[in-house]
Structure 1
Amino acid sequence: MCRKCSTGCPRGMVKVKDCTPWSDIECVHKESGNGHNVWAILIVTVVILVALLLLVAVLMFCRRIGSGCGGNPKCMHRVFLWCLGLLRGPGAEDNAHNMILNHGDSLSTFISEQQMESQEPADLTGVTVQSPGEAQCLLGPAEPEGSQRRRPLVPANGADPTETMMLFFDNFADIVPFNSWDQLMRQLDLTNNEIHMVRADTAGPGDALYAMLMKWVNKTGQDASIHTLLDALERIGERRAKERIQDLLVDSGKFIYLEDGTGSAVSLE
């Protein structure tokens, strides 16, 4: 005998199951249904909070380990792989651990070595530490005869040094970096106002260094020497430009090195 399905639940109850050929609708009290929802939300919230706490703990731990690397890229890479293994699970952790072992010693040993290295300078107070280059300079043989180091440049065949230097002003613009032009001219005692005036009167920016060097020669006269220019380049940290200018002058045959202590000149061509 068939029964009609109920059309709804009594007051204070909610439907949790529809009518079927074998059973009527099922109703439960509202408090009971809400209770299930509350528990589900609570469980999900707790799981999310625990996961976030674990993530924060792992990140803080990895940051603490990474601080012992002292900025060493190799050490930081190992820390990253190890922490990545912690975040991705046991399998990934094993893989990361194997990668660390394949690249050298264990993480803890490497970090300990980095910490010892960072502490060594503090333990050497009062002790002069020499680099390999300095030791070689002190223990190595004297410079061979004919070395260019610290030898003054003089014009070949007794030419005028200022006039000969001015022949190369156009080349200097291709050697000295553009951003160092103003700084170089300040080292050569040109004022900021003089630099701005020269730049304003120059047709193109590429000709500015030539014009400023000519202003320096006109202002300084015979005191404007190639050595003053080279020393100024050294002071502003343009040692590479200084060396290239020296090579240019000597290779041109217009300048030669004055041999130390003899008063005679020597050409390096």
Structure 2
Amino acid sequence: MNGWRLLLTRPADENTALTATLAEAGIFSSAFPLLEIEAMPVSVAQRSQVLGLDQYCAVIVVSKPAARLGLDLIRRFWPQPPLQGWFSVGAATAQILESHGLSVTCPAVGDDSEALLQMPQLRAAINRPDARVLIMRGEGGRELLSERLTELGASVEYLELYRRSLPEYPAGALSHEIREHRLNGLVVSSGQGFEHLRQLAGEDWPQLSRMALFVPSPRVAEMAKATGARNVVDCRGASAAALLAALREYPAPAL
């Protein structure tokens, strides 16, 4: 497993933790953030959603930034968040919420919308005539959650808390990073992370598309394959544990 030399593309603070975890397992990694998190100003509509938080039968938090920023916003209006059903897509997001006294349900396997939608606890929470669900997220994304919950009879609203942008890099910086550190694998944690990878690669994408690409879900795997990626590994989760499991299963190519 320690033959892998990986490019990590998460936001800078998340790369730091993942780099340390991989190093403990003997895996070299190079941090190259392709997502920058920018908190959005709070609108009148968002303020109203938070003030009426107890009117939702379920609150779904889809990412760690959404958890942190959402809790900061909620604390402005609620000494203690309401205790309706709280759900998260991944365990790391759940840990942030639980550290603030919330009881959170998340999938035991698979850090994705599909796994969450299969959970009986979520279906039980929305099994009522007037079911309202609030999804805390960044700008755009996770449309599958809204579509499926609506099909199940729930009314879904979004509380969008941040934007994700591509940090500025000089031309050729991505390929230079890969060559400089003799990397043999690319890791993305979201669909937008992959889109930024593809965008920054530019004319070098045909060459980079031959590298092993570790992705968090079947949806992102399909996105990557549609652009010509030839060696896509679905980790079925964005956590460090999911990545490590995939690295154990797939041998590193010879350098």
Range into which the TM-score falls when normalised by the shorter chain: under 0.3
Structure number with the higher helix fraction is 1
- Bigger relative contact order, structure 1 or 2, given CA contacts below 8 A and separation 6+? 2
> Which has the greater radius of gyration?
1
Structure ranking higher in strand proportion: 2
TM-score, normalisation: structure 2: 0.17
